[in-house]
Amino acid sequence: MAFENVKTQQQQNNSQSEPYTGYISDLRNMMARVEHRAMRMIRKNDFGEFAGAAIIDPYAEYHPSDSMLWLELMSEARKISEDIYQRLFYVRGGGTVLIANPQFGFIFKPIVGDYGWQSQEFYDNEKQCLNQYAKEIMSLLAALGINNI
């Protein structure tokens, strides 16, 4: 399922009990649960000895055509920083696809509506979590383009 309402739902759930601490902590908790489930499935199928850290595409069900590109992007991002990987995972899970671009390699394009971001404005706000890693992400997207265009 896409993560179109992760921040909004978490804020509503926490409004009675405690202040909202931010989407990054929510994201880390959610990713830990997803990765734990993925590792359980790998071990269940006797592939556990081959798996280090499981990397999954949280939006593959809705946009499978670029899933392998996202897996490569997130895998390379994780080599640089766990934080970059987690932020890319969030942006992808919200409903973002990769579009080939001759100048930049690939660019992000949000899917707005069903199974995607609730609005362009919401996406524009949420993608700001990538800003502090813009240089690294641009480099990763360029390398992805060299290898896949």
Residue 112 within any structural domain of the chain: yes
Look at residue 57 and tell me if it is in a domain.
yes
In a domain, 26, yes or no: yes
Positions of E strands within the chain: 96-101, 105-110
Interval 78-104 mean pLDDT: 95
pLDDT tens sequence across 49-88 = 444 567 899 999 999 999 999 999 999 999 999 999 999 9
User: What confidence category does residue 147 fall into, taking pLDDT thresholds of 50, 70 and 90?
Assistant: confident
Residue 18: CB atoms within 10 Å: 8
Provide the residue range defining the domain that includes 46. Answer: 6-148
Q: Where does the pLDDT of residue 36 fall: very low under 50, low under 70, confident under 90, or very high at 90 and above?
A: low
Tell whether the model's pLDDT for residue 47 goes beyond 80: no
Return the closest-CA partner of residue 54 out of 26, 31, 21. 31
Examine residue 123 and state whether it is found in any structural domain, yes or no.
yes
138 within some domain: yes
CA 31-36-40 angle, to 5 degrees, is 150
18 in a structural domain: yes
Q: Report yes or no on 1 lying in a domain.
A: no
Query: With 70 as the cut, is the pLDDT of residue 10 above it?
Result: no
Number of domains in the chain: 1
Bridge partners of 101, per DSSP, are: 105
Threshold 0.85, pTM exceeds: no
129 closest CA partner among 92, 97, 95, 84: 84
C-alpha radius of gyration, the chain, whole number = 16
Q: Regarding predicted confidence, which is higher, 30 or 4?
A: 30
Q: Please, which residues have CB within 8 angstroms of residue 72's CB and are 6 or more apart in sequence? A: 144, 147, 148
User: If you average pLDDT over every residue of the chain, what do you get?
Assistant: 80
